Amino acid sequence: MKFALVNEQRQEAQPNLTGNCPACTHAVIAKCGSVRMWHWAHQRSRLCDPWWENETEWHRAWKGQFPVNWQEIVHRADSGEKHIADVKTDQGWVLEFQHSHIETEERRSRELFYPKILWIVNGSRRVRDRQQFLNAWERGTPVNANASVRRLFSHDCTIMREWATGATPVFFDFGETEVLWWLLPTSSNSSTHVMRFPRTDLIKMHLGTSSEVIGQFDGLMQMANKLVTAYELQLQVKIPQGSKNFLAPRPRWRRRL
């Protein structure tokens, strides 16, 4: 973790410091080696939050886009259950930066636990994911002639299959300087709807403090969902039951030996 309580104050790891975990209050020690980034760790490998994953430079870079007092916030439910959110904004959004693989059950648990959660997924963890995704994007169908939103089929793209059935917004980060890829929450197992989204706009929307910016992302989500829903209804009208769906993925034929 990046922060611990030292004399009741949040502080980053420094050599020879000891502190307490903000979630469980147990002792933590500063790990300040030359190989891994400096961080706090529980003594005796104790893990107080099973949802926590070891941080990477990618995690830290994303956290660093937001105010320090939004980072690593302990969120408590009415039941007493508590977890450490990567970032929790003043608008109530929890931003979770996911680098490693996550099981579906754990993902669903997090989405139920946090009232408003947004995933940012590291698409560069596996080398093949970016090219698979871009290939799927090129084969995709624009939604209502909107070049920034396309309907994609996820059968040939591992990262989309892993994240396609969620009910919350997911953004893929393939390391591109300007663009993130928004996997819309209305996607299904077989097809997904993806929107190109400026990286800086996502950050600004959550950093915004003016009345014009606050709630802007919530409104954008509603607009995107309405767009996709209208497109799906349009497909149902155009493709009567029993007719061939030319947008469906074609089966792969194997050559007989």
Distance CA 179, CA 198 (A): 5
List the one residue out of 90, 93, 108, 80 whose CA is nearest residue 23.
Answer: 80
- What mean pLDDT is predicted for residues 72-94? 89
Q: How many Cα atoms within 13 Å fall on the side-chain side of residue 109?
A: 10
- Is pLDDT above 70 for 232? no
Which domain covers residue 42, as residue numbers? 1-48
Angle at alpha carbon of residue 155, lines to 153 and 161, rounded to 5°: 95
**According to the model, what pLDDT value does residue 172 have?**
97
- What mean pLDDT is predicted for residues 46-61? 80
Angle at alpha carbon of residue 123, lines to 104 and 129, rounded to 5°: 90
Collect all residues with Cβ–Cβ distance below 8 Å to 189 and sequence separation of at least 6.
154, 161, 164, 165
Percent of the chain at pLDDT above 90?
33
The single-letter code of the amino acid at 140 is G
Residue found under tokens 């493709």: 239
- What mean pLDDT is predicted for residues 170-182? 95
pLDDT band, very low/low/confident/very high, at 242 (cuts 50, 70, 90): very low
Distance CA 65, CA 89 (A): 12
Look at the chain and report how many structural domains it folds into. Answer: 2
Q: pLDDT, tens digit, for every residue of 22-36?
A: 877 778 888 877 767
Q: Is residue 44 domain-shared with residue 131, that is, in the same domain?
A: no
Q: Which two tokens stand for residue 77?
A: 């439910």
**CB 46 within 8 Å of CB 25:** no
Distance CA 110, CA 129 (A): 24
- What mean pLDDT is predicted for residues 129-147? 88
The single-letter code of the amino acid at 184 is L
The single-letter code of the amino acid at 107 is R
Q: Is residue 113 domain-shared with residue 13, that is, in the same domain?
A: no
Is 250 within a domain? no
**According to the model, what pLDDT value does residue 82 have?**
86
**CB 72 within 8 Å of CB 78:** no
Q: Is residue 68 domain-shared with residue 194, that is, in the same domain?
A: yes
Of residues 222 and 60, more confidently modeled = 60
Is 251 within a domain? no
Q: What is the DSSP letter of 26?
A: -
Q: Is residue 59 domain-shared with residue 176, that is, in the same domain?
A: yes
**CB 43 within 8 Å of CB 19:** no
Residue found under tokens 């919530």: 218
Q: Is residue 234 domain-shared with residue 170, that is, in the same domain?
A: yes
Is 245 within a domain? no
Q: Is residue 66 domain-shared with residue 151, that is, in the same domain?
A: yes
Q: Is residue 85 domain-shared with residue 193, that is, in the same domain?
A: yes
Is 40 within a domain? yes
Task: Give exposure, 209-232, as e/b (b: 16+ Cβ within 10 Å).
Answer: eeeeeeebbeebbeebeebbeebe
Q: pLDDT, tens digit, for every residue of 99-130?
A: 999 998 899 999 999 999 999 999 999 999 99
